[in-house]
């Protein structure tokens, strides 16, 4: 993408954006969005206040000990129309952030690290004679999980396409990673967000997580590295230890095995037809077992199980054979390897390892689908349906319909506008389940640091002349 600075324009007011829609507009917005409608979205619905409060982490200038430069040192990146790409943007306060976003109307907003200086001043720290280096000092621990990384096991979709048969793979990833982050690492303030198209993003926002070094981030990311190899590697999960690590045992027992047997096995027709079950048999390291299973399945391929799906029936046969007492440890572990191969989370490792990596902001609108990047409740993620996520055209229609019913009410409050649409529920969840507890902890930390600083200052010896 080419880098170019767009000339500043006036901030569009709500009354400047017409809400009338034509049939052609509706067809265009079915899978994308219009720049004019995006202006209306930023003008009326985007939760600027909540986003600013999140990214300031209690440094709002209203309490002693706040760092007034904190938010100004945060990098933002805009992708504008025609792939115009702007990096190293920053804002001094909420009003500047809102005015800039509304003026430039970015098709995508990415959030980067907090640096040691304002990103706009970075060039002063890279020239000859400079004794400081422009570098990140703080950044959320982030994870990116993309459905395309599961293409070797998906039989329903491929590439950017998703459906309700393959989406449970994202549900599994959320459940496994969220539990490990909380139980194994002790993190509390975790935000899961739908990417708007084919995956999910995770933001770990505890102060301890934000200050991890790149090496520490890499170690945490490697903790989740189970799936290895490339497209030419048939077997990508190998369990060599005598027993499963407690985290893997928990994931296998609580999430992966139940989802595999109850959902993935049938949704993806893993053991029908022949081409699919051959990929499963490729994971079995015993030729005799593979031949036995292949012969049995080819014999009854034309018969239908009266009370049991053929995929479930074949899996039961394979599992019983592999787990029989006559077989060795390697074959018994093969059951776990197969389950993990088809269910365990596949992270984009590079996204998580480095502090300066950018990640798309929540509540953006995806340009290909028109869907808003809404938060996901990890406690209810199995009920999340990406096909029902609010789209830009839907939200504008909801505004139109609501205001047509209540034409006598003319209130420009963004809170009121949000409540007129289905986006209001997503913002409310973001506020109550994530933002409020996070800010409570952040403000307590700011206050504690301030008191410690006062105590240190008071305990220093004074000189009496």
How far does CA 374 lie from the centroid of its chain?
10
Kindly name the residue from 118, 138, 146, 149 that is annotated as catalytic: 146
Distance CA 21, CA 17 (A): 11
Distance CA 62, CA 200 (A): 34
Distance CA 159, CA 148 (A): 5
Instruction: Give the dihedral sign, CA 174/170/193/423.
Output: negative
The answer to whether residue 75 is catalytic is: yes
The answer to whether residue 144 is catalytic is: yes
> Across-strand partners of 145?
200
Kindly name the residue from 75, 98, 110, 138 that is annotated as catalytic: 75
Query: Any idea what DSSP says for residue 268?
Result: T
Distance CA 70, CA 59 (A): 7
Distance CA 412, CA 15 (A): 10
User: What is the radius of gyration, based on Cα positions, of the chain?
Assistant: 26
Query: Any idea what DSSP says for residue 12?
Result: P
Strand ranges in 116-180 using DSSP code E only, listed in sequence order: 136-138, 141-146
Distance CA 462, CA 192 (A): 51
Measured distance between the N- and C-terminal CA atoms of the chain, rounded to whole angstroms: 65
Query: Interior CA angle at 376 toward 35 and 412, to 5°?
Result: 45
Reported residue count of the chain is: 465
Q: Exposed, middle or buried: residue 434 (CB in 10 Å: 0-12, 13-18, 19+)? A: buried
CA dihedral 325, 307, 157, 317 (to 10 degrees): 10
> Across-strand partners of 114?
74, 138
The answer to whether residue 309 is catalytic is: no
Single out the residue of 250, 279, 60 nearest to residue 154, CA to CA.
279
How far does CA 112 lie from the centroid of its chain?
14
HEC sequence for 316-385: HHHHHHHCCCCCCHHHHHHHHHHHHHHHCCCCCHHHHHCCCCCEECCCCECCCCCEECCEECHHHHHHCC
> Across-strand partners of 372?
365
Catalytic residues: 75, 144, 146
């Amino acid at each position: 993408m080419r880098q170019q600075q767009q000339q500043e324009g006036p901030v569009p007011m709500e009354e400047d954006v017409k809400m009338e829609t034509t049939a052609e507009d509706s067809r265009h917005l079915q899978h994308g969005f219009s720049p004019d409608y995006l202006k209306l979205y930023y003008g009326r619905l985007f939760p600027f206040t909540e986003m600013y409060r999140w990214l300031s982490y209690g440094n709002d200038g209203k309490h002693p000990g706040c760092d007034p430069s904190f938010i100004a040192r945060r990098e933002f990146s805009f992708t504008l129309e025609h792939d115009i790409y702007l990096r190293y943007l920053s804002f001094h306060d909420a009003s500047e952030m809102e005015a800039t976003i509304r003026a430039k109307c970015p098709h995508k907003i990415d959030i980067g690290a907090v640096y040691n200086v304002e990103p706009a001043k970075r060039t002063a720290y890279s020239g000859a004679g400079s004794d400081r280096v422009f570098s990140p000092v703080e950044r959320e621990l982030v994870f990116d999980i993309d459905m395309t990384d599961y293409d070797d096991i998906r039989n329903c979709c491929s590439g950017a396409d998703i459906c309700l048969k393959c989406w449970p793979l994202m549900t599994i990833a959320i459940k496994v990673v969220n539990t490990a982050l909380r139980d194994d690492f002790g993190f509390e303030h975790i935000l899961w967000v739908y990417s708007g198209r084919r995956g999910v993003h995770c933001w770990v926002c505890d102060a301890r997580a934000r200050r991890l070094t790149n090496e520490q981030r890499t170690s945490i990311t490697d903790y989740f590295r189970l799936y290895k190899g490339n497209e030419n590697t048939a077997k990508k999960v190998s369990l060599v230890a005598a027993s499963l690590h407690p985290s893997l045992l928990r994931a296998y027992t609580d999430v992966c095995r139940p989802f595999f047997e109850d959902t993935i096995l049938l949704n993806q027709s893993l053991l029908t037809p022949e081409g699919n079950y051959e990929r499963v048999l490729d994971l079995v390291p015993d030729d005799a077992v593979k031949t036995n299973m292949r012969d049995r399945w080819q014999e009854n391929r034309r018969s239908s199980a009266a009370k049991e799906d053929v995929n479930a029936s074949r899996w039961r046969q394979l599992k019983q054979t592999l787990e029989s007492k006559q077989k060795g440890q390697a074959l018994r572990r093969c059951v776990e390897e197969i389950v993990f191969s088809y269910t365990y989370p596949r992270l984009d490792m590079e996204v998580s390892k480095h502090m300066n990596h950018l990640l798309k902001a929540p509540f953006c609108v995806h340009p290909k689908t028109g869907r808003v990047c809404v938060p996901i409740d990890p406690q209810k993620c199995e009920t999340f349906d990406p096909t029902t996520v609010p789209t830009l055209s839907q939200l504008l229609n909801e505004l139109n319909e609501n205001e047509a019913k209540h034409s006598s009410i003319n209130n420009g409050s963004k809170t009121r506008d949000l409540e007129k649409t289905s986006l209001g529920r997503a913002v409310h969840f973001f506020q109550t389940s994530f933002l409020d507890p996070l800010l409570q902890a952040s403000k307590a930390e700011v206050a504690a640091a301030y008191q410690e600083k006062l105590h240190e200052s008071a305990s220093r010896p004074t000189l009496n002349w």
